Amino acid sequence: MPTYLHCAPPLALAAVLGRRRVPAGLLLAGVAASIVPDVDMLNVWYAGVRYNTLLGHRGLTHSIGFAVALGLLAALAARRCGWRRGIAFVFIALSTVSHPLLDLLTDRGIGTALFYPLTAQRVTLPWRPLPLAGAGLFGAARFWLECAWIGLPLLAFAGIGAALRRWFDRIRPGAGWT
């Protein structure tokens, strides 16, 4: 889905976890990871791959397996980048898998191969609350729909999560996973 807010989940998650746990470089990597699943469109546009195949749109790169693989790469690079290995893995994997999960909320598309390599079957949700069929691929209507269905809930998540983190860090200094 060409969306304005695929980068919102890693930003919200970073706000919840805080700068000590998610430094700027890891945040930037998470934002990139949240967008990277759409690299599959290059196969469709330039390599002649059919849209609805595993290497086409919403195939392999939109799977949990792909997200885990990117998370593992981040964990391997963590020491060199100055990140905590476990946090790097979880943050990048969640940032990546947020992309197909957001795609599942739209009323357009052919579903995603979310559970590949366990199955290549495309998944759709029976309830797809993000009505994009009349909004076009880009423009103000689509932007405001995404703000309502993605931005506001993630803003609430980030605000509440950050407040809880600060409260927890205050009542138990040195505790947790800093």
Locate the domains of the chain by residue range: 8-171
Flag whether pLDDT at 128 surpasses 50.
Answer: yes
- Is the pLDDT at 8 greater than 90, yes or no? yes
Looking at the DSSP assignment, which residues form a beta bridge with residue 123? Answer: 112
**Average pLDDT of the residues in 113-138:** 83
CA–CA dist 6, 93 (Å, integer): 14
Predicted pLDDT at 135: 64
The percentage of residues in the chain with a pLDDT greater than 90, rounded to a whole number, is: 65
Per-residue confidence band for 51, with pLDDT thresholds at 50, 70 and 90? confident
Residue 112: strand pairing partners: 123
Q: What is the dihedral of CA 9, 14, 16, 19, to 10 degrees?
A: -170
For residue 55, CA distances in Å to 65, 87, 91 come to 14, 29, 25
Strand partners, 130: 106
The answer, yes or no, to whether residue 28 has pLDDT greater than 60, is yes
pLDDT of residue 155: 96
pLDDT computed for residue 178 by the predictor: 47
Q: Whose CA is closest to 30, among 95, 111, 127?
A: 95
Residue 103 predicted with pLDDT over 80 = yes
- Mean pLDDT of the chain, nearest integer: 90
Averaged pLDDT for residues 107-130? 88
42-66: average pLDDT? 92
C-alpha to C-alpha distance for 14 and 18, rounded to whole angstroms: 6
Backbone angles phi, psi at 122, to 5 degrees: -75, 140
Report d(CA 59, CA 50) in Å as an integer: 11
- d(CA 16, CA 163) in angstroms, rounded, equals 8
In this prediction, residue 137 carries a pLDDT of 65
